Amino acid sequence: MKTKLLFCFMSSLFLFLLVSGFSDKEIHVSSNVSNNDDKPVTKNLTAPADTITPANFPYPVVWNWYYANIPGANFETVGATYFNDKYILNRWDANTLYRFNNNGTGGGPGTISDSNNSYAGQIRDMTVAPDGSGQSFLWGGRASTVLYKMTANGTTVSQYTHAGASYRAIAWDPNRKGFWSCNFSDNIVCRDTNGVVIRTLTNTLTGKYGMAFDSTTSADSAFLWVWSQGGTALPNQLQKIHIQSNTVASSYTFQLVNGTDGIAGGAEIFVKDNQLILALNFQEYAVVAYKLKDLSPPPPICNYIWSPQTSGTTSVLYSVSAVSDGICWAAGAGATVRITTNFGATWSNGNAAPGVINGDIYNIYAWSVNDALCTTSPAATFIYKTSNGGATWTQVYTLAGGFLNAIQMVSATEGYATGDPVGGIWTFLKTTDGGSTWAQVPTAPAQVGGEAGWNNSFYISGTNIWWGTNQTRAYRSTDMGATWTSGVTTGSVNSYAIHYNNATTGLAGGNAMTLSTNGGANYTTVTAPGTSGNINSLEGNGTDWWATRTGNTVYRSTDGAATWTTAYTLTGAAFNDMDFTLLPNGCPIGWAVSSAGLIAKMSNIVSVVSTNNEIPSSFSLLQNYPNPFNPETNINFSIPRSGLVTLKIYDISGKEVSTLVNEVKNAGSYVVGFNAANLPSGAYFYRMQSDGFAETKKMMLIK
């Protein structure tokens, strides 16, 4: 986006400031300007040529911001810094600093945020670093012995004079707790704010102007990226220097546009949108962001806890369907349907007109608080549908001579059901109207021998479909049922349960536990949890797995089903089915159902979710809601700039009982879900800290 800045455009020529044979600026900007040869140079302010990336440079451009198009701001501008969600351009020759919003192309600079005409001025390169208080500031120098500490808008906070230093190029080193700096042609030195020399790198590179620290592109290594004007030959040089050995790991030559435009200015490395970015300033021309590395989002904080729930029935529950953290349906013998809409605190009757549903319900699938489908099996098998939360049910399909095992919707309108073979062909149904009508899919596979299926042993992910059988086989389709193959589940005659964590890795459970790592082409026997009863339900996420047998125990594996531990035991239960769903932060939660109407819920003690994209104007910590609570509550907080956030829970004695957040967060508003099922009733305190802000509030847990 092109933005006009309203201030007087400088048209007079400036003398070149020569330092060690180099000039801070190489080109003036006006309709006619001069280069070092005093020859007129015309700069096109509407269609700049592209910056020239070396052929051997392996890092793609994220955005290329031609600030040469901005009248005035391009004059002697060297900044490449990103701080508090703003891009910063600073003038080395004057007292002006500009901050731009990150709403430009590719997340780069866009509209002007503000400017400061009284910042320290003449700062060359800048970096972002914390001080002793934990707050972060801008730091930079005027190619002199003075190090400036500045606020985000460039207002000077402190000055440090260090004899022998020359703060032109500068980079903060969080490992050594010091600033690397140098002038055009001298060595690169790391000093703390007291001026104590921590490390010196002998360096003969000439024209050094910008510098950035990097310990992320390679494991167990730290580098300085040095951005240089390259000497009298004019091409810019970029070197990646390995700090420990002081060797040049990589070197790149950047040709100048038109031979003169875009001499090296400031440099900075920062993280934005889960990317490690190297920003380079081409003076009076552009700032270019290069992606050094894609960074994985931080893993969610998943702390699981199981707790029993009161279902309001003593009927055997055969099937469960988790819609969200707060909404779940369960069904079982005698047309029993139970539903919760308040995280399982209470369960209500989901079959308000008994007698409509005929028989025991062996599978239920729900996709909202109102919409659900279920299968029953008396003399024939039926599919029933409700669109009003179970107030009424309508029979929508009848399968004579067969048993319908499971249903799964893939959208609000499209869904599939699987059942035992009829006439030598597997029952495989499809709906395109939200379950109101069903039809046999003509490409369903043929029955082999006396094969039959099992209720709840059915799973769809993307375009992949799997179901288990009673004869050491599991069927699979990778194209939504257009074609089919089957894999032998070695070691397990029956596949009572089947679940895949991704397109390739899945488990089948029955008489034994079997694992597939190729999408179901074949399975191998792995260690099964427990010792007695059949494996009848499976759930998983990533490398985590949960399993139940026909007993009172839920088992968990955290290493891809290599080993198992007991996650939860519910006295009197004989578990039949589990179903999980993912929270917005990526943590799974869900329910397990069993005999005698017993239900257990797996909750995540804490979940952190961003609530909107707006940048708050200040820090805030709100009162938890609900309060008092039992056992779940929400805590909202806002931060106006990126930084480390901690949110901790303390009991009345001041003892820390839980850490909910301890990580760097982008500026924004967040809600943290907290589950205190494992804590006794009483008063608790929660305290948030970030970038000098701290606040504590009280909450009450009443069970």
Question: Vertex 689, ends 688 and 695: CA angle to 5°?
Answer: 55
Which residues are CB-neighbours of 468 under 8 A, at least 6 positions away? 453, 454, 457, 458, 474, 489, 494, 495, 496, 497, 498, 508, 510
> What is the average pLDDT value for the chain, to the nearest integer?
87
Mean pLDDT confidence for 94-116: 90
CA angle 182, 188, 190 (to 5 degrees): 95
Please tell me the distance from the alpha carbon of residue 663 to that of residue 373, in angstroms, as a whole number. 42
Question: What are phi and psi for residue 106, nearest 5 degrees?
Answer: 70, 15
Whole-number pLDDT of residue 32: 26
This prediction has a pTM of 0.59
User: Is 574 exposed, middle or buried (CB count within 10 Å of its CB: 0-12, 13-18, 19+)?
Assistant: middle
pLDDT tens, residue by residue, 362-371: 999 999 999 9
595 C-beta neighbours (distance < 10 Å), count? 19
Span 272-314, pLDDT tens digits: 888 899 999 999 899 999 999 988 765 666 778 898 999 999 9
pLDDT at 129 over 70: yes
Type of residue numbered 203: N
| Per-residue confidence (pLDDT) for residue 287, from 0 to 100 | 96
Model confidence at 402: pLDDT above 90:
no
What's the rounded Cα separation, in Å, for the pair 529 and 351? 35
Alpha helices in 62-126 (DSSP H): none
Say what percent of the chain tops pLDDT 70.
89
Band of the pLDDT at 608, cuts 50, 70, 90? low
> Where are any strands of DSSP class E within 60-135?
61-65, 81-83, 86-90, 97-101, 112-116, 126-130
pLDDT confidence tier of residue 486, bands split at 50, 70 and 90: confident
Mean pLDDT across the stretch 161-187? 94
* Per-residue pLDDT at 479 exceeds 60: yes
Question: Are 489 and 510 spatial neighbours (Cβ–Cβ below 8 Å)?
Answer: yes
Averaged pLDDT, 224-236: 83
Least confident of 6-15, 412-421, 492-501, 602-611: 6-15
- Residue 553 burial (CB count, 10 A): 17
- 79 pLDDT band, cuts 50/70/90, is very high
For the chain, the helix, strand and coil percentages under 3-state DSSP, each to the nearest 5 = 0, 50, 50
When mean pLDDT is compared across 158-172, 198-212, 634-648, the lowest value belongs to 634-648
CA 32 centroid distance within chain: 49
Longest dimension (CA), the chain: 98
Percent of the chain with pLDDT over 90: 61
Average pLDDT over residues 146-161: 94
Q: Residues, the chain, total?
A: 703
CA-CA distance, 135 to 330, in Å (whole number)?
50
Instruction: Give the pLDDT band (50/70/90) at residue 463.
Output: very high
Please report which helix (H) or strand (E) contains residue 461, including its range: strand 453-461
Report residue 34's pLDDT band, with 50, 70 and 90 as the boundaries.
very low
Q: Give the mean model confidence (pLDDT) for residues 385-393.
A: 96
- Residue 604: band (very low, low, confident or very high) from pLDDT cuts 50, 70, 90: confident
Rg (CA), the chain: 32
List the end-to-end C-alpha distance of the chain, in Å, as a whole number: 56
Sign for the pseudo-dihedral over CA of 144, 195, 186, 206: negative
**Per-residue pLDDT at 532:** 87
- In degrees to the nearest 10, what's the CA dihedral of 324, 325, 326, 328? 60
487-520 pLDDT, tens digit per residue, is: 788 778 899 999 999 999 999 999 899 999 999 9
Task: Choose among 212, 188, 210: nearest CA to 200.
Answer: 188
pLDDT of residue 232: 55
The DSSP secondary structure of 146-194, one letter per residue, reads EEEEE-TT--EEEEEE-TT---SEEEEETTTTEEEEE-SSS-EEEE-TT
The domains of the chain, with CATH numbers, are 20-294 (2.115.10), 306-604 (2.120.10.10), 608-701 (2.60.40.1930)
State the Cα–Cα distance between residues 585 and 214, nearest whole angstrom.
28
